Structure 1
Amino acid sequence: MGPEFNLRKATHEDLVQINEIYNWAVLNTVATFDLEERSLERAERWFESHLDPYYPLFVVENQRGVTGWGSLSPFHTRPAYKESGEFSIYIAPEWSGKSMGDALLETLCKEARKLGYHTLLGLITATNEKSLNLALKHGFFETGKYREVGKKFEQCLDVIVMQRILA
């Protein structure tokens, strides 16, 4: 990590800033297929699911507070998928391009390996070139494409499945 930011596990005190970053993405990007902002009540439930050590949540922060976050989540609820996780990363728009996404994805991959994950997946909107390039840079490869599975901002959107085998 450089001196510009710090990366650490998220605490409950970070939730408002985490949710603000996410809600900005909801309203302004196709990075998430949510169409309405996430309420603080819903964010609380989501945060609680990441209190499970197997599904960690990290933040990057600088002198201005939390500037981004990344998490591991279940890829699927069925038990045979337990060693497969899905990663998510969101960076506040004014901090994009400052290597925070790199630091988060590197940390998520290391943490997943420590926790015994076999593989990580990212479901990334096909038009989100920054996120696709981030995944490629960290050893992920395209394993599939879901065609026109989401509609946001009057666009039918494809989703690229990016995968990295950790074991």
Structure 2
Amino acid sequence: MNVVIRKAEKDDMERMREIYNWAVLNSVATFDIEERSIEQNEHWFKEHQGRYPLYAAVDQNRVIGWGSISPFHPRAAYRPTGEFSIYIAPEYQGKSVGDMLLKHLCDRAESLDYHSLIGLITGSNTASLRLAEKNGFCQVGHYREVGIKFGQWLDVIAVQKMICNIGGI
């Protein structure tokens, strides 16, 4: 496997949507319960430019995963904090692709002068929780039974990593 992390391109959108929709239908990694439409995906892609980048993990010219930084909260004072998301095609899970993407997102967050990154991870998603911990994220919150999917109540664990100090604050 020769994985390259690069900025996502328009031609990657459909494969990225396939990966996300697999997670919608088969996992609790996302709390979405309906597949993302082409139109929703196009809007999402347009939102992930500039300060909110989107990256593709590519192996032999095929997108096998993606990672993004999104606004943590819409209010202006939250701007120095981003929220990361990572989704990996099922056949590539457990093969360090998520680790490569998270390291890349942290590096990119630093170059964009983020103060911190937040991840909201389903409590039963032990692989993602271990990935976050391995990359220097600490648990900062535990929301109990905040979502329901596949007939089960789901907890969310909030993790955070301090990235850099902005403007001497």
TM range (shorter): over 0.9
Percentage of identical aligned residues: 57
- SS of corresponding position for 1:112: helix
Deviations 1:112-151 (A, max 9, x none): 0110100000000000000000000000000001111000
* 2:47 alignment counterpart: 49
- SS of corresponding position for 1:55: coil
* 2:96 alignment counterpart: 99
Q: Does 1:112 align with 2:95?
A: no
Alpha-carbon offset, residue 97 of structure 1: 1.4
* Aligned counterpart in structure 2 of residue 33 of structure 1, from 23, 31, 34: 31
Q: Which amino acid aligns with 1:139?
A: G
Q: Calculate the TM-score normalised by the size of structure 2.
A: 0.95
The unaligned stretches of length 5 or more in structure 1 are none
**1:79-158 mapped onto 2 (5 Å cutoff):** 79-158=76-155
Deviates more, 1:20-29 or 1:91-100: 91-100
Q: Which amino acid aligns with 2:71?
A: P
Distance 2:61 2:104 in 1: 21
Q: Does 1:15 align with 2:41?
A: no
Distance 1:42 1:98 in 2: 29
Number of equivalences: 164
Q: CA RMSD in A?
A: 0.8
Q: Which amino acid aligns with 2:37?
A: S
Q: Calculate the TM-score normalised by the size of structure 1.
A: 0.96
Distance 2:24 2:97 in 1: 20
Distance 2:117 2:19 in 1: 23
